[in-house]
Amino acid sequence: MPKSSFEKEDVGWTNIDAEVDVVTPMVLAHLQKLGIEHLELPDMKESISIKPFFITYEAGLHLTNGIVYNLAGIQRHNNAYMTYEGKSFLSKFYLKINKLQFEYNFLLKLMAIEGYGKVIGSLDDTIVYAELAVNVINSKLHLHDFRIIEFSNIHVQLDQARLIREFTGIILSPITNLFKDRITTSIADGLKEQMQSVMDDFNNEDPLELRKFTKKLISGITGSSAEFSE
C-alpha cells in the first residue's frame, strides 16, 4: 500500500465506498461530455540494448506524442476513505481499470539506421492510487496523488516503417521491458500532472457540475444535507 501524504496518527477516517461508487461514473460521463477522451503522456528519451547480429548494440529510442485512453470498466478497488482537516475533505482510494490502452510515436536510432513508427500497448487490471482534497470554502478539487501502482500484464506491439520491420523481433522485447519499468515511474508522474490539469479545467469551467460531484462525494462523512460555505 502506498504511503499516504495525508496520514496522521490523530486523524480518523470514514469509509466512503458507496460515495466513490456513485461519483466515479458521474465524473467519467462528464469528462466524455467535455470531449476529454484521452490523457497525454510525457515524452521520453531512452537507451535500449539490442542484439541484431550476435553483438549487443545501444540504440537510442525517442518516444513522443504519448496518450493513454480507454477508461471503460473503471471501478473502485478495495476500500475508500475520507477525513476532514484544514478546511478540506481529504479522500484516498484505489481504482481498477480493466484494460488501459496507450500509444507513443517512436524514433529508433541503431547504428546508421533510423526507423520510426508507433508503439501500441495495453495494461490488464491496472490499479491506480489517488488522493483527492475537496476545499470546503470553494468546493474545488486538488489532486495530491494519482499514480499507477500495479498491473497484471502488459501487451506491446509495434507499427513501424518497412525500414526497421525486420528488427521487430529484437526490439520488441527491450521496448516492452522499458514500459514495464516506466509505467509506474516517469509515465505515472506525467499522468498525475495531466489529471491535475483536467481537475483545474473542471474547477474553473464547470463550477455547478463540480459542486454536485463534491457534495455527493463528501456526503458519506457529512450526511446528505452537506452544504459548502459561500
- The predicted model scores a pTM of 0.81
pLDDT at 44: 92
Confidence grade of residue 97 (pLDDT, cut at 50, 70, 90): very high
* Residue 228 confidence (pLDDT): 42
Q: Which amino acid is at 69?
A: Y
User: Across residues 186-201, what is the average pLDDT?
Assistant: 83
More confident residue, 36 or 118: 118
Domains of the chain, each with CATH number or no CATH: 14-222 (3.15.10.50)
pLDDT at 15: 94
Give dist(CA 222, CA 197) in Å, integer: 28
Spatial contact of 96 and 125, defined as CB atoms under 8 Å apart: yes
226 vs 33: which has the higher pLDDT? 33
Cell matching residue 29? 460521463
Half-sphere exposure of 78 (CA within 13 A, CB side): 10
Output the nine-digit C-alpha cell for 111: 547504428
User: What integer pLDDT is reported at residue 222 of this predicted model?
Assistant: 64
Residue 195's pLDDT is what? 84
Q: Which pLDDT score is estimated for 225?
A: 40
